[in-house]
Amino acid sequence: MNQVIINTNKFKTRAAVLENGKVMEVHIEREGEGTLNGNIYKGKVANVLPGMESAFVNIGLEKNGFLYVKDLRDFEEKYLTGIVNSGKPIEELLNVGDDVVVQVLSDPRGSKGARVTTHYTIPGKFLVLMPNNNHIAISKKIKNEIERERLEKLFSEIVPEGMGVIIRTAAEGKSIYHFEKELQYLIKKWEEIEIKIKKAKTGELLYKDNGIVSKVLRDIIGNDIDEI
């Protein structure tokens, strides 16, 4: 039996995934904390480090975010040079004081700030939207080659030009009806973010992913779960 157990009180929320009584995953979110992963901020370049091919970005937190040049390429292509994977060093792309929109890849730890990227992703149940990347990727957990070909063909027909998706495991066997509806929802989310970008101030939060309960219901709950 596959189970999901969710426990919440005024201090924290916990969720555990069990397979035949064995704990497979545990998620904890403390009240007032939560993770920053997935958050999108309007940032400002605080420092450029040519020797490290990176930059520090002020996103309104105690410590500046850390941005590698390889995580800047999507932003460069759409908002800076228009060149795909130009290979230009970071000092030719960013200057101190420049605005840059970033998404958190990993939370701050100890003396280190959050690692950030411009490869934005907006997750749904069946797919993850990549608004500035036209690549279509499929979960490795979908093993059936015929199904992989079906999904790739289907999404290549419905994803708007200039955008891409990561097809999640939950998409296996599902119809276009599920995908079109979710795709429209995620694209609308991204359009709302782009509107906010123009008016936002440095450090302003533009997008925040769901809390732990909603994430578990979206990412884990499927036909293989027997009990919640």
pLDDT at residue number 25: 82
Q: How many Cα atoms sit within 13 Å of 99 on the Cβ side?
A: 12
- Domain edges within the chain: 1-34+212-228, 40-118, 120-198
200 vs 85 pLDDT, higher one: 200
Residue 222 has pLDDT above 70, yes or no: no
Place of tokens 């500046």: 64
Residue 217 has pLDDT above 90, yes or no: no
- Cα–Cα distance for residue pair 135/30, rounded to 1 Å: 35
pTM comes to 0.81
**Closest C-alpha among 211, 180, 208 to residue 193:** 208
Into which CATH architecture does domain 40-118 fall?
Beta Barrel (2.40)
Residues 43-66: pLDDT tens digits? 999 999 998 999 999 999 889 999
pLDDT at residue number 219: 73
The mean of the pLDDT values for the chain is: 88
DSSP string, 124-182: -SSEEEETT---EEE-TT---HHHHHHHHHHHHHHSPTT-EEEE-GGGTT--HHHHHHH
**Closest C-alpha among 15, 17, 38 to residue 28:** 15
Residue 223 has pLDDT above 60, yes or no: no
**Closest C-alpha among 15, 138, 13, 117 to residue 65:** 117
Residue 34: which pLDDT band, with cuts at 50, 70 and 90? low
Residue 128 has pLDDT above 60, yes or no: yes
What are the helix (H) ranges across the chain?
73-75, 145-158, 176-199, 212-219
pLDDT at residue number 154: 95
pLDDT at residue number 126: 92
Contact yes or no for 5/19 (Cβ under 8 A):
no
Residue 190 has pLDDT above 80, yes or no: yes
Residue 13 has pLDDT above 90, yes or no: no
Query: Helix (H, G, I), strand (E, B), or coil: what is residue 217?
Result: helix
Residue 214 has pLDDT above 80, yes or no: no
Q: Does domain 120-198 have CATH number 3.40.50.300?
A: no
Single-letter amino acid code for the residue at 163? M
Per mean pLDDT, which of 17-21, 80-84, 110-114, 151-155 is the most reliable? 151-155
pLDDT at residue number 198: 85
Residues 102-114: pLDDT tens digits? 999 988 887 888 9
* Average confidence (pLDDT) over 9-38: 82
221 vs 128 pLDDT, higher one: 128
108 vs 82 pLDDT, higher one: 108
